[in-house]
Homo-oligomer: A and B are copies of this chain.
Amino acid sequence: MKVVFLGTGCGMPSTRRALPAFAICLKREILLFDAGEGVQRQLQLASLSLQRITEIYISHLHGDHCLGLPGLISTMSLLHRMNPLLIVGPPGVKSFVYKTLEMTHVEPIFQIKTIEVVKAILPEQPLYSVEVLPAEHSVPALSFILRMSEVAGKFDPEKAMLLGVPKGPLWKRLQQGRFVRVAGKRIVRPTEVLGPSRKGASIAYSGDTSFNPDLASAARGVSLLIHEATYSNELKEKASENHHSTATQAAEIAVLAEAKQLALVHISPRYENNQQHEQEARSIFQRCIVPNDLDVIELKHPVSGDN
């Protein structure tokens, strides 16, 4: 499981930083968070296939977070995508998608489902669930928490043998959490051969927001907090006026949330390197990075156990 930072800038792109977007790459599918102008090219540069994207989460409808969406959908269509696409965003996202496609003469051949939401736990998927909560921004905006599902405990082949289950398809059945019947008609339960269930990894994304303790409460114990840090602390008044966060505030949220790791994104183009943000945040929360475009974080999933 990895997170690919496609665009770590904000407002306007710079030669160093593209506009906001990151991809969470699961085994097969990719979940895309935000889709700033140019996101399809950043995906190409990261060698990620557009067609693996099954769901797109848009934090809010400022152009730097969503103007890459119509081009991305158009290209998916040009490449003959057949699989449906889910787009989750604040109220207005549906009309943004359909109107921009209509005005630019795009008629996708695949199904697009949009969900407009303010606060919700979205219907659980087999692999994960997503919680949406309001961010504190100048326009309706969202934060997201992705929680990977629990993973079955580690399979103990010795125990299986002792219980008379021969190596082969029956092992797989047990690993999938199903009962098996062995010679002599004895039933072996998965719990007899599996260790305790292992907790899934989790990722919280702030979207654009000023300091918001609600996010910290909801994201308690998260494996990775991806938080906006438009400014560093000397511009905290500006951050407050513009409903954004400083590196200090992002780090404080990470502390409150007891996050395992923090990544700062949405860095204003005024900063020529990451040093100021890094130093500021690390003085409060040590396990912090400020990714550059196309940087990757590999995330352990499940978070416990030997696998």
Contact = CB atoms under 8 A, between A and B. Distances in A.
A77 to B, nearest CB: 10
Nearest to A61: B104
Interface in A27-56: 37-38, 40-41, 44-45
Contact of A13 (B11, B41, B70): B41
A271 to B, nearest CB: 16
A67 B71 CA distance: 7
A45 B41 CA distance: 15
Nearest to A60: B105
A216 interface: no
Nearest to A12: B75
A182 interface: no
A139 B15 CA distance: 34
A70 B66 CA distance: 11
Interface of A: 11-15, 18-19, 37-38, 40-41, 44-45, 61-64, 66-68, 70-71, 74-75, 78-79, 92, 95-96, 99-100, 103-106, 138-139
Given A38-B38, A67-B100, 19 more contacts: A11-B78, A12-B40, A12-B74, A12-B78, A12-B79, A13-B44, A19-B71, A37-B68, A62-B104, A62-B105, A63-B105, A63-B106, A66-B104, A92-B103, A95-B103, A99-B103, A100-B103, A105-B138, A105-B139
Give the 3 A-B CB pairs with smallest separation, nearest first.
A63-B104, A12-B75, A37-B71
